[in-house]
Structure 1
Amino acid sequence: MDIDDHRNVYITEIKLPEDDRNIKSLADCYSILGLSADAIPLDIKAAYKKKISEYHPDRVGALGIKIKQIAEEETRQINAAYAMLQEHGMV
């Protein structure tokens, strides 16, 4: 933040919190989906569908806001892991 001569406050930089759950490797993707690194595409697709159905926010919405927020984060991680595997031609 900066303050000018007229005491106006300006935001000059926004730092987002470090996300320690970033997916850094394909091994992370397999781990998120609960698979071993030698999984075949059929297994990857099945694991993705199973995980998504378990953690989908609409399924747990009645359990409260906190649980729904956790489910949303898990869903983002699952989707990101699957997308990364797709990008690398594993699916």
Structure 2
Amino acid sequence: MDIDEHRNVYITEIKLPEDGRNIKSLADCYLILGLTADAIPIDIKAAYKKKISEYHPDRVGVFGEKIKQLAEEETRQINAAYAMLQEQGMV
């Protein structure tokens, strides 16, 4: 993941979560992003950006390494959910 000078986030690599919380369905994707299944693409994009900004490891790193690791896992989940929705043509 990269962030440009305007604080835009770009996904450059997606690592699936390692803790057994693999995404199994589109319903999981919507749940991770805090959406319902009838969400439209603009809502999906907005939810993704909001979640990524909340859980970005660089933002929570000041709270310690453990919190940063949790944020990294959550970020992987968010990225994987968004990528799956993109692959299915939902975004």
- Quickly name the TM-score band, shorter chain normalised: 0.7 to 0.9
Give the letter aligned to residue 63 of structure 1: F
- After superposition, where does 1:65-84 map in structure 2 within 5 Å? 65-84=65-84
TM-score (normalizing by structure 2): 0.79
Number of paired residues? 74
Looking at structure 1, the residues matched to 19 and 62 of structure 2 have their Cα atoms a distance apart, in angstroms, of 27
Looking at structure 2, the residues matched to 20 and 89 of structure 1 have their Cα atoms a distance apart, in angstroms, of 25
Q: Which residue does 2:89 correspond to in 1?
A: 89
Give the letter aligned to residue 71 of structure 1: A
- After superposition, where does 1:11-90 map in structure 2 within 5 Å? 19-90=19-90
Q: Which residue does 2:7 correspond to in 1?
A: none
Query: Between Structure 1 and Structure 2, whose CA radius of gyration is higher?
Result: 1
Give the letter aligned to residue 70 of structure 1: L
TM-score (normalizing by structure 1): 0.79
Give the letter aligned to residue 56 of structure 2: H
Percent of aligned positions that are identical: 88
Structure 1 vs Structure 2 CA RMSD: 1.0
Give the letter aligned to residue 33 of structure 2: L
Structure 1 spans left out of the alignment, 5+ residues: 1-17
| Alpha-carbon distance, 1:61 to partner | 0.5
Q: Which runs of 4+ in 1 moved over 6 A?
A: none
